[in-house]
Structure 1
C-alpha cells in the first residue's frame, strides 16, 4: 500500500468522524442515528491505521478479496440504517395520523361551539 493511500484512508475516516460528531454537537443528528455512523467511522479509522487487519479479517471470514468484505459491511450498515429509519417512519406516520384525527375532532367541536354560541346570541337579539 502506498503512503498516499494509507494517509487518504486515515484522513477520510477522520473526516467522517468529524462530520458525525459536529452534526451531533449542532443537534442535526440524534444519538441513536449517529451510532451506526460513528461505528462505521471508527472501524474505517482502525482499518486505515492498521490496513493488514482488513486482510486478516477477510481471511477469517473466508473472503478472498478484502475489499469485498468492506463492500459487504458497508451494505450491511446501510441496510441496518434503512431498517431503523423505516421503523421510525412507521411510528411517525402513526403519530401524524393520530394528531390529524385529534385536530379534526377539535375543529369539529369548535365549529359546533361557535354554532351554538351564534344561536344563543341570535336568541338574545330577538
Structure 2
C-alpha cells in the first residue's frame, strides 16, 4: 500500500469512528443501535493502521483476496443491523397497534359518556 492511500485509509476510518462517537455523544442514536457501527469503525481503523492484519485474517479464513473478506464482513455487519432494526420495527408496530386500539376504546367511552350526559363532544361551543 502506498503512503498516500495508507494515510487516506487511516483518515477515513478515523472520521467514521469519530462520527459514530459524536452521534452517540449527541444522543442521535442509542448505544444498542451504535454497537454494530462502532464495531465496523473500529475494525476499519485497525485494518487501516495495520493492513497486515487483513492479509493475516484472510489467509486464516482461507480467502484468497483480502478485499473479498472486507466485503464479506461488511455484508455480515449490515445483515445484523438489518435484523436488529427489523426486530425493533416489529416491536414498535405492535405498540402502535395497541395504542390505536386503546385510543379507539377511549373515544368510544367518551362518546357513550357524552351521550349519557346529553352533551355532544363534537359540537364546538359546548
Q: Where on the TM-score scale, by shorter chain, does this alignment land: which range?
A: over 0.9
Residue in 2 aligned with 1:4? Answer: 4
1:59 to partner: Cα distance: 0.2
TM-score for the superposition, normalised by structure 1: 0.92
The equivalences for 1:23-102 within 5 A come to: 23-102=23-102
- SS in structure 2 opposite 1:60? helix
Question: Deviation digits for residues 88-112 of structure 1, max 9, x if unmatched?
Answer: 0000000000000000000100111
Segments ≥4 residues shifted beyond 3 Å = none
> How many residues align structurally?
119
- 2 CA distance for matches of 1:103 and 1:18? 43
Q: Tell me, yes or no, if structure 1 residue 14 matches structure 2 residue 14.
A: yes
User: 1:45 & 1:61 partners in 2: Cα distance?
Assistant: 20
Shift of 1:75: 0.3
1:118 aligns with 2:118: yes
CA-atom RMSD, angstroms? 0.8
Structure 1: 5+ residue stretches without partners? 120-126
Q: Quote how far apart the aligned CAs of 1:27 are.
A: 1.1
Aligned equivalents of 1:22, 1:50: Cα separation in 2: 24
More helix by share: 1
Q: Which runs of 5+ in 2 are unaligned?
A: 120-126
Q: C-alpha offsets along residues 48-90 of structure 1, whole Å, 9 cap, x if unaligned? A: 1100110010000000000000000000000000000000000
